[in-house]
Structures are given as structure tokens and as C-alpha cells.
Chains A and B, each alone.
Chain A
Amino acid sequence: MITAEWVYWLAGAFFVAAGGQIARDPRHSKRWTNAAFWVLLGLSFFYGSFVRGSGGAAPPLRPELPAWPLGLAAIATALLAGFGFTSRGIVPTTTPAQRERSARRKRNWLFVPALTIPIVTVTFAVGLSRVTIAGHALLARGQETLVGLGVAAIVATLVGTIVLRPREPLVALREGRRLLESVGWAVLLPQMLSVLGGLFTQAGVGTQVGLIAQHVVPQDSRVFAVIVYAAGMAAFTIVMGNAFAAFPIMTAAVGWPVLVQRFGAHPAPMFAIGMLAGYCGTLCTPMAANFNLVPPALLEMKDKYGQIKVQIPTAVALFAVNVGFMLVLPFV
């Protein structure tokens, strides 16, 4: 059975390879600390396969290893990058003029490797999810898309190498390192935020927010209760970076006891749109780094918060519309 662990190892190998390239690059301004950052990050992806998951879930692979060395590595990489010991190297690539010439020669063949990625991923997610070989599922349940993405990355790189015929076969890895270095430390941020979300929950942040919401919500105003539920979803999502963390807490505090039980709202529309009110918060927060901070890094934007600034007007308008829906649809 092919599982997501294989793909985590592929990602780990890519990070280690990037670190290895940096270690052999004498012109890199912060050569050794940068190499250490990527190699340590890459090795952590391998080590993670042997560690117990959140909620005490069994480790994906045996033997089980203790989690604390991985925690130490995560903090070490975070602080290495956080205190400015990493920077972007200069990776040789083609000039804009060379690219113009090459684009005129290769024409639409250039799109073939890029389009291979979604085609292969979707084939796995949809087409191969139920395939069994000798009674065993080919792909682990619930991991079809992740496995598909891993296979797509490999297939697309092979297709790209065949179609574009680079002189050295490993040039894709160097170009990959170029893009990876342009994202830089932001690569690690989404995972660290996920860790933080877990620690917030353990520290009882959710319970506290729920208590505050309960105090704020008046017992006799349906309109106000709806607004508190929606605003609580959005605000808590902005803090946690994730509407999934906000939903159980706001629903336990306001959604179920006040809106459904006291005011007789229909649960399906109330909770569905309540979740989407939380999504409006996701559009506004740097805590949702993989959606809002990694893209500006990937696109090499000058303003790292530029995407959030563009999204805020849509989020505000859509939030107002959601509140309107929540006032009407669950009560008809």
C-alpha cells in the first residue's frame, strides 16, 4: 500500500538535497547555517514517520521513536531562521533574454509539465482511490490526494526533462532549490502555526474564548446572538488561523445552546454558514500562513502582507452577507 509517508520522505529528500547544494556553494553568504536549516528540516520529515501523532495516534512506521528530539529540531530550525541566520543565495539560472528565446522555440510544450501535475493528482484522487491489488488497497484511505501529488511531482519532473531536454538531468533540482530559497523560512511557518494551535488548545484558550462569548451574548436577542456567533467564529479564526479550531468552541458556547436550543434555528444552515463566517476570518490573518504568507513569498512580492490587504475588503463584505444569511435561512 502506498501511503503519504512515501511523499513526506520525497519532500524531506528535496529539502536535504537543497541543503546539500547550499553546503557546496562557496558564494552563499550564510552557507553553513542555511545548509543546516534545510538539512535539519528535511531530516525531520523522515523522523516524523516514527513519532506518535496528535491525540496519541500510533506512529505511521515502526520502530516508535520519542517525539522530543523532533521538537528540538523544529525549535532549532525556527530560531535559526527567525534570528536571521538564513538568507537567500544566488542560484544560476537562465536570463530573461534566454527565456524569451527558449519560449519562442518550445512554445506550448512548456505547459505540458505544468499541466501534468493536476492531471496526475486528480487521476489518483478520483480514479485510483478504490483500486485494490490482491485484496489490499493500492492507496491508503484518505491519503489519495497527498500520494497523487507526490506521484505527480515525480511524473511531471520526468515529463519536463523529456520535453524540455535540459543538458544536465539534475537541473530541475537546482531550479527547485532556487524557488525554495525564494520562499525561505516561510516554508516552515505553516507547520509551526499548526503546533501553536495545538498548544493554544491545551492551554485552554478555546474554553476561555467560549466563556467570554457566553458572557457577551444576551439571552433575549436573536439578532445579537447570531452576530456574536458569526463574529466569534471570524475573530477566533483570525487568532488561531483556522476555522476548524473555532467551530467546536463557538458552537458549544453560542451556536447550539442559544441559537438552536433557545431560538430554534435549523442546525444545518446555521452551522454551515457559521463555518463560512469563520473562513472570512481566514482571509484576513497572517496566522493562516500557508494561504496568506507563503503565496507572497512564492511570488516574491515586496509587501509580505499584500495578499491579506487585497483579501480584506472581500472578507468584510462576505462576512456581512453571511450574517444576513444566518439571520434568515436557519429560521424559515
Chain B
Amino acid sequence: MLSLLGVLVVVAGFALRLNPLVVVTVAGTVSALLAGMSPKQILDAFGTGFASSRSISLAFIVLPVVGLAERYGLQQRAQALIEEAARLTAGRLLLLYLFVRQAAAALGLTSIGGVAQMVRPVIYPMAEGAVMRAHGPDLPDEVTDAVKAHAAAADTVGAFFGEDVFVAIGAVLLITAYVDANYHLKLDALQIAIWALPTAIAAFVIHGFRLLRLDRTLAAMVARSRDAGGDAS
């Protein structure tokens, strides 16, 4: 049971809203000490872990070109485009993005989309433009935050529940490799991918339904905040 102490540090740290980097460093050190590692072994483990996880951070190398395009008005252009498509509300736009993101991931094209290269420069400004068209340019902060959160969530949900339908993705290969090695089965990667399909469809239906209701939710948020503002003034 002692080995769960590291988990406890994480839970307590996040619950107390301490800085996650400190929480994670402390929890890692505690876990390593419980595993009987020496200080040098702990440093080695941090070094090895850092070196072999560098690929997670590669998404940031697109920031210079994204920043460059933003400097010349990419977000503003995206908003101008959405103003011409009057029937594309924020909810419908994000539904469309969810579909494209999920379908592309299902074909193995997870590099289409992503928050750094797609959501921040194009999708989020378009969604916000659609909300501004409906409710005027001065949006309350909580509405802006909700649009951002939903844009990021559509990206994540689409990628997660699309990629598993693709045969050559890590999750599918992990399942077949683990099961074949340990239980002497011959699982076909295609079978795993096909059985991911019902959940993929369910994910699209559930999240898509919520996106279709998003426009109403946002309208209610705007109305509530304007009422509150009216009372105060």
C-alpha cells in the first residue's frame, strides 16, 4: 500500500492547487524513494524519462509560424470569413470541426488539426466571430472562455475517438502486442480497430449533440451576464 503514497501526493497537490510542476517533481521523488532508489538513480530516472518523452513537446515548434500569421491578422481574417457564412453558428462550426478532426484521425491523419496549429489561429477565432455576430462584439469573459474550452474539447474528443479506428495507431498496437505476448493469442489489429467503431460513433453523437446545444447555452450566458451588468449600473 505504501507505493500509493506518490499518488496521494498528486491528488493532494492538485486539490490544494499547488503548482503542478512542484507537485509532480515531489510525487516522483517520493515514489522513487519508496521504490528504494538512490539519489543518483532518481536523477537518472528523471533524465531518461525527460529524454524519451521529448516528442510530446514537439507541437510547440509550429508556434513561430502561427505567431507570424497572427501578427498579420490571421485570427481577424478567420472572423471575417465566418461573418459571411451566416448559418454557421459557433456550435455548428465546432460540430463540423469535430467531424473533420475525427474522420481525419480515423484515416491515420492525426496531424490534421491540433490546438497550436489549427484551433488557436483558425477554429477558435471563427467560433468567437460567430458568437460575436449573434450577440455583439463585447462578449463577457466567461463566454469567451467557454468558446475556447469547447474549441479545445472538440479537438481532443475528435482526435481521441478517431485515432483508435485507425489500425496502425499506438493504442491498437499496444493492445495486440500486449495480449499476444502474454496470453499467446493472435489478435488482429484490424479487429481491435473495428471494435473501436461503435464507441467512435457514440462519441460523435454525444459530443455533437452537446455542440448543437452550445449556441443556446452561450446565449443564456450572455443574457445572464448582461442582466447582472444592468443591475449593477
Chain A residues within CB distance 8 Å of chain B: 4, 7-8, 10-11, 14, 44-45, 47-49, 51-54, 57, 66-75, 78-79, 81-84, 93-94, 96, 98-104, 106-108, 110-111, 113-114, 116-118, 121-122, 125-126, 145-146, 148-150, 152-153, 156-157, 160-161, 164, 166, 171-176, 178-180, 183, 185, 187-196, 198-200, 202-205, 207-208, 239, 243-244, 247-248, 251-252, 256, 260, 267-269, 271-273, 275-276, 279, 282-283, 286-287, 289-296, 298-303, 306-307, 309-311, 313-314, 317-318, 321-322, 325, 329
Contacts and interface: CB of A to CB of B under 8 A. Distances in A.
A190 B179 contact: no
A194 B49 contact: yes
Q: Is the interface of B mostly helix, strand, loop or mixed?
A: helix
Q: Which 4 A-B pairs have the closest CB atoms?
A: A175-B67, A103-B73, A176-B64, A71-B46
B133 interface: no
12 contacts: A49-B51, A52-B51, A78-B22, A100-B73, A113-B68, A148-B111, A156-B62, A164-B69, A195-B46, A302-B145, A306-B148, A329-B195
Contact of A153 (B54, B61, B152, B203): B61
Nearest to A287: B10
Contacts of A321: 199, 202, 206
- Chain B interface category by residue count: 35 or more
B82 interface: no
A81 B37 CA distance: 26
Contacts of A157: 64-65, 68
A283 B48 contact: no
Interface stretch (B85-93, B114-122, B225-233): B114-122
Interface of B: 1, 3-4, 6-7, 10-11, 14, 19-22, 24-25, 27-28, 31-32, 34-35, 37, 40, 42-77, 80, 108-113, 115-122, 124, 141, 145-146, 148-153, 155-157, 160-161, 164, 170-172, 174-175, 178-179, 182-183, 185, 187-188, 191-193, 195-196, 198-199, 202-203, 206-207, 210
B24 A189 contact: yes
B95 to A, nearest CB: 13
A282 B160 contact: yes
Nearest to A11: B61
Contact of A54 (B49, B57, B153): B49
Given A51-B48, A113-B69, A252-B182, A317 B206 contact: yes
Given A82-B22, A149-B111, A290 B198 contact: no
Contacts of A172: 64-65, 67-68
A194 B53 contact: yes
B207 to A, nearest CB: 5
Contacts of A70: 46-48, 50-51
Given A94-B72, A314-B203, A321-B206, A82 B21 contact: yes
Given A66-B44, A172-B65, A189-B24, A99 B145 contact: no
B47 A11 contact: no
B77 to A, nearest CB: 4
A48 B55 CA distance: 11
A272 to B, nearest CB: 4
B116 A298 contact: yes
B22 A313 contact: no
B21 A48 contact: no
Contact of B174 (A73, A83, A146, A247): A247
A303 B145 contact: yes
A199 B55 contact: no
A107 B191 contact: no
Contacts of B199: 273, 276, 318, 321-322, 325
A193 B55 CA distance: 13
A204 B1 CA distance: 9
Contact of A146 (B58, B62, B149): B58
Contacts of A173: 64
A311 B153 contact: yes
Given A78-B25, A188-B21, 17 more contacts: A8-B54, A57-B52, A66-B47, A103-B73, A122-B111, A149-B62, A190-B53, A199-B49, A208-B1, A267-B187, A273-B198, A275-B196, A286-B20, A290-B59, A299-B115, A314-B157, A318-B206
B34 A298 contact: no
B21 A296 contact: no
Contacts of A67: 43-48, 51
Contacts of A251: 178-179
A79 B160 contact: no
Choose among A101, A106, A150, A298 the residue with the greatest number of B CB atoms under 10 Å from its CB: A298
A83 B4 contact: no
Contacts of B10: 196, 239, 287
A236 B130 CA distance: 39
Nearest to B4: A208
B34 to A, nearest CB: 5
Contact of A68 (B43, B77, B182): B43
A304 B112 CA distance: 25
A190 B112 CA distance: 21
Contact of A156 (B65, B112, B171): B65
Nearest to A278: B171
